[in-house]
Structures are given as C-alpha cells and as structure tokens.
C-alpha cells in the first residue's frame, strides 16, 4: 500500500534548498523583489507608511492619443505578459528538474543551464497541460466544490510526470490519477498541514502590514515568501518521486496509460 512520507518530504526539502540555495531561491527572490519594487513606485510614500493605489489603464491614457499608439501599447503589454508566462513556466520546469536530480542523488553538478528549457517543446506542452487542468478543475468548482477539490488532487502529479517523462498531456493526466490512487486523503491532509504552517509563518508579516510597518514587512515578505513557497514545493516533488518509486516502475504506468482505463471505483480513494 502506498504511503505519503511527510517527514521525509520535509527533510528532503531542507537538504535540497541547502544544497542548491542560489539555483532554487535566487530567481523567486529576485522577481519577488522586482514585484515589491514596482509596488513602491506605484504607491505613495509617506514618512510612516506606503499607501498603495492601483493605476487603471484607461485613466492614464490621454484622451488625444492616436488609436494606433494605444494599439501599440496594448501589444507591448500583451508581449510583457507572454514573456512573463514563458519565464514563469521555464522556472517551474527547472525547479522540477532540480528536485528530480536531487532525489536521484545524481553526482552531476547542476548549473543555471537547468532553466534552459527553450527549443524542447516542453514549455508549450506545460502551458497547454496547465490550461487544460485548470479548466477542468475550474469546471469542478463551478458545478460543486467537492468535485473541484477531488480533481485538483487527481491531477496533482500531472505536470511533474510531463516534465520528467516527456509524455503527452493525456498520458500525464492518466498517470497522475494512478499515482494518487489510494493516497488522496493523505495528500489532502498534507495540504491542510502546509496551509496551517504557511499561515503561521505569514501571520507576523500580516500584522506588520496592519500596523503600517511596511519598511519591516516588505523586506520580510520579499525573502520569506519565496523560501516558504519553494520549501513546500520541494517537499511535494519528493512526495511525487517517492510515490512513483512505490509503484516500482513509472515506465510501466506510462505503457499502461495507452491501454483502456478500467471502470472507476466508488468513493474518494
């Protein structure tokens, strides 16, 4: 029977962050810093607090600007959003590759090249898989809350399988369903535990924000949030690899994913 090794996951996450601090924490801390810096420039600084305010696009465009300039501006904004999405995906893929490398105890040294995922087609498949899974889970939440929660755990490992084994979108979904079969309640309990720990860690920052101590909370948020997020991400990747090893042969599941699926069992198992 498959089991979720939470203590092993937490230990793996700590050791992996300790071994690859710059590769794992450098990018998220840097981009979190840029995000917070933008908030400073789009906010109003006073001696004791920052009153953030949102700038609406239509309000900052003068009335006499030619239409073609507005079109160009919109195109540039869409280009920036596209670049941000691509960059975010390649960072996610690199993070998965680092975790798999650490779990397999490979002797090969990792470099920043681990984030070079261009030209392989994996970025496009990752985006499409994320989009498909997001739409399916959203539909589950729209219909009823419970199906959305169940589907989110059914598809929990799909992106990990996609990156590690370079399989198709449908195969990654099928394999994720098989890997999570029998441990969905354990994964749900792990999610609750992670949420509780994260809440306890973030409460001091929220309190500092409430009392307008932005000069203390902002640096803490810039550093602490990416560390907490990456720590639990590494822990979840350990759970994926540990569970897939308990299946004895992930390649066997990939081969079986091409076969017709058996009728679904009753209950949340």
| DSSP codes of every residue in 123-176 | HHHHHHHHHHHHHHHHHHHHH-HHHHHHHHHHTTTHHHHHHHH---HHHHHHHH
Distance separating the N- and C-terminal Cα atoms of the chain: 12
pTM above 0.85, yes or no: no
Nearest CA among 154, 152, 159, 177 for reference residue 253 = 177
The pLDDT-based confidence of 267 (bands split at 50, 70, 90) is very low
Nearest CA among 228, 166, 162 for reference residue 200 = 228
What's the pLDDT score for residue 2?
76
The angle that helices 67-103 and 6-19 make with each other, rounded to 10 degrees, is: 110
What's the pLDDT score for residue 45?
40
Distance of CA 252 to the CA centre of its chain: 27
d(C-alpha 100, C-alpha 113), whole Å:
15
What's the pLDDT score for residue 92?
93
Q: Is the pLDDT of residue 259 over 70?
A: no
Locate 59 and state its tokens: 């309000």
Q: What is the CA radius of gyration of the chain?
A: 21
What's the pLDDT score for residue 199?
93
The rounded percent of the chain whose pLDDT value lies above 70 is 81
Per-domain boundaries in the chain? 6-256
Give me the numbers of helices (H) and strands (E) for the chain, helices first please. 11, 2
pLDDT average, residue stretch 78-106: 91
Q: Is the pLDDT of residue 55 over 50?
A: no
Asked if 23 contacts 99 with a C-beta cutoff of 8 angstroms, the reply is: no
Lowest-confidence region among 64-73, 85-94, 160-169, 254-263: 254-263
Lowest-confidence region among 64-68, 86-90, 234-238, 252-256: 252-256
What's the pLDDT score for residue 56?
46
pLDDT average, residue stretch 216-244: 91
What's the pLDDT score for residue 47?
38
């Amino acid at each position: 029977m498959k089991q979720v090794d939470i203590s092993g996951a937490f230990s793996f996450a700590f050791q992996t962050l300790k071994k690859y601090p710059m590769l794992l924490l450098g990018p998220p801390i840097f981009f979190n810093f840029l995000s917070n810096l933008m908030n400073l420039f789009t906010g109003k600084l006073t001696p004791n607090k920052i009153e953030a305010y949102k700038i609406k696009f239509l309000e900052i465009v003068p009335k006499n600007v030619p239409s073609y300039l507005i079109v160009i501006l919109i195109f540039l904004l869409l280009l920036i959003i596209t670049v941000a999405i691509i960059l975010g995906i390649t960072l996610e893929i690199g993070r998965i590759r680092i975790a798999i490398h650490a779990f397999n105890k490979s002797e090969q040294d990792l470099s920043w090249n681990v984030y070079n995922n261009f030209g392989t087609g994996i970025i496009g498949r990752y985006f499409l898989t994320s989009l498909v899974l997001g739409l399916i889970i959203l539909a589950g939440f729209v219909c009823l809350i419970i199906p959305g929660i169940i589907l989110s755990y059914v598809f929990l490992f799909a992106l990990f399988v996609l990156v590690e084994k370079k399989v198709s979108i449908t195969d990654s979904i099928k394999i994720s369903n098989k890997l999570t079969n029998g441990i969905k309640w354990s994964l749900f309990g792990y999610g609750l535990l992670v949420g509780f720990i994260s809440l306890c860690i973030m409460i001091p920052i929220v309190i500092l924000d409430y009392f307008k101590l932005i000069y203390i909370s902002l640096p803490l948020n810039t550093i602490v949030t990416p560390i907490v997020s990456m720590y639990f991400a590494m822990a979840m990747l350990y759970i994926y690899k540990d569970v897939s090893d308990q299946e004895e042969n992930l390649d066997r599941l990939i081969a079986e994913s091409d076969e017709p699926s058996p009728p679904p069992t009753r209950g949340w198992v």
